[in-house]
Amino acid sequence: MTMARAVVTVGLLIVSVAVVRTQDATFSSRVEAVRVDVLVTDNGQFVGGLGPRDFDVRDNGVEQRVDLVGFEELPLNVVLALDMSESVAGDRLVNLRAAGGAVLAGLMGDDQAALVTFSHIVELGSGLTKNVQAIRTALSHASGSGDTALIDGTYAGITFAASDARRTLLIVFSDGLDTSSWLSADRVLDTARRSDVVAYGVTVQSLVTSEFLYDLAAFSGGRVFQVEKSDGLESTFVGILDEFRHRYVVSYTPRGVARAGWHRLDVRVKRKATVKARPGYLAGS
């Protein structure tokens, strides 16, 4: 590792810690409306046309009155955290770049995007911006080398998502197991659990699969997709963005529960359907 790249790595981790502290403070002070991104499907198809009365939301076991449900038109933050280790080379790298580019092409209006790449080090290709071309350029310069710091790269992806009113989608791609992260999986999963970020994992099917990605998706309300070959990455990435846009935004003001501490969420719909949502949130006093 060169000295310049080492400085980039250390700087990124320091900034990541600062950002997550800011996010934790912001998140923990939430005492008003709670907003939850909810995916509702039936046999793999999006379920549309639902309203507040169709949802059953329990906050720490207490039934809540849902105030708002819709495919909210809030602009999105889309963060790409992409594995650039030695195994991502040749056709796999070409297909991964194409997948990232397809997501960027699907952004609309005031949507923003960011790029984080990781091998044995973590680098910020581009912070959140509407300048899609800047991210395309950074993606075109990324190349595979070294080991895999999947956990560190995911942490950076979560913490570089701006703590504002936007809905945030994190897409994490890795084709292998973590081999060189500094941070523990539990630390990063706890950060995901406490954030508003919805994380989707994408991996190339193999005999060895990272359980971390499945835990990440479960704690954030996202999903994991396995593709048989890397030429399936583009359609998978585009499908994730489309699925995220079709998630309901459920809003309610907590009633009958303590104002501080961890709140367990249970979101269901009053019909036969599969529901995916984050499992809880942290409220402050």
Task: Report the predicted TM-score, pTM, of the whole model to 2 decimal places.
Answer: 0.87
Evaluate whether 115 touches 171 at the Cβ level (below 8 Å).
no
Q: How many domains, the chain?
A: 2
Residues 255, 266 within the same domain: yes
Q: What is the pLDDT of residue 207?
A: 59
Q: Provide the 10 A C-beta neighbour count for residue 84.
A: 27
Domain coverage including residue 230: 73-245
The CATH number assigned to the domain holding 66 equals 2.60.40
Residues 211, 160 within the same domain: yes
Residues 217, 145 within the same domain: yes
Evaluate whether 123 touches 12 at the Cβ level (below 8 Å).
yes
Residues 67, 113 within the same domain: no
Residues 113, 237 within the same domain: yes
Residues 39, 170 within the same domain: no
For residue 14, is it within any domain? no
Residue percentage of the chain with pLDDT more than 70: 86
For residue 21, is it within any domain? no
The structure tokens 């979560």 sit at 158
For residue 193, is it within any domain? yes
Q: What is the pLDDT of residue 157?
A: 95
Evaluate whether 244 touches 169 at the Cβ level (below 8 Å).
yes
For residue 2, is it within any domain? no
The CATH number assigned to the domain holding 86 equals 3.40.50.410
Q: How far apart are the first and last CA of the chain?
A: 45
Taking CB atoms within 8 Å and a gap of at least 24, the contacts of 235-240 are: 236/99, 236/202, 237/99, 237/100, 237/102, 237/103, 237/171, 237/202, 238/99, 238/102, 238/103, 238/106, 240/103, 240/169, 240/171, 240/200, 240/202
For residue 13, is it within any domain? no
Q: What is the pLDDT of residue 155?
A: 96
Residues 183, 54 within the same domain: no
CA distance 54 to 252: 14
Q: What is the pLDDT of residue 14?
A: 40
For residue 256, is it within any domain? yes
Residues 100, 195 within the same domain: yes
Question: What residue type is assigned to position 189 of the chain?
Answer: L
Residues 205, 274 within the same domain: no
| DSSP H or E segment with residue 204 | strand 198-204
Q: What is the pLDDT of residue 160?
A: 80
For residue 24, is it within any domain? no
Taking CB atoms within 8 Å and a gap of at least 24, the contacts of 39-46 are: 39/221, 39/223, 39/243, 39/246, 39/247, 39/248, 39/275, 39/276, 39/277, 40/248, 40/269, 40/273, 40/274, 40/275, 41/273, 41/274, 41/276, 42/272, 42/273, 42/274, 46/243, 46/246
Residues 227, 251 within the same domain: no
Residues of the chain with pLDDT under 70: 1-31, 72, 162-165, 207-208, 284-285
Residues 66, 116 within the same domain: no
Q: Using one digit for the tens of pLDDT, what is the confidence trace for 72-128? A: 678 899 999 999 999 898 999 999 999 999 999 999 989 999 999 999 999 999 999
For residue 37, is it within any domain? yes
Residues 222, 238 within the same domain: yes
Strand order of the β-sheet with 261-269 is: 62-64, 55-59, 261-269, 280-283
| Angle ∠(90,91,93) on CA atoms, nearest 5 | 70
Q: What is the pLDDT of residue 143?
A: 86
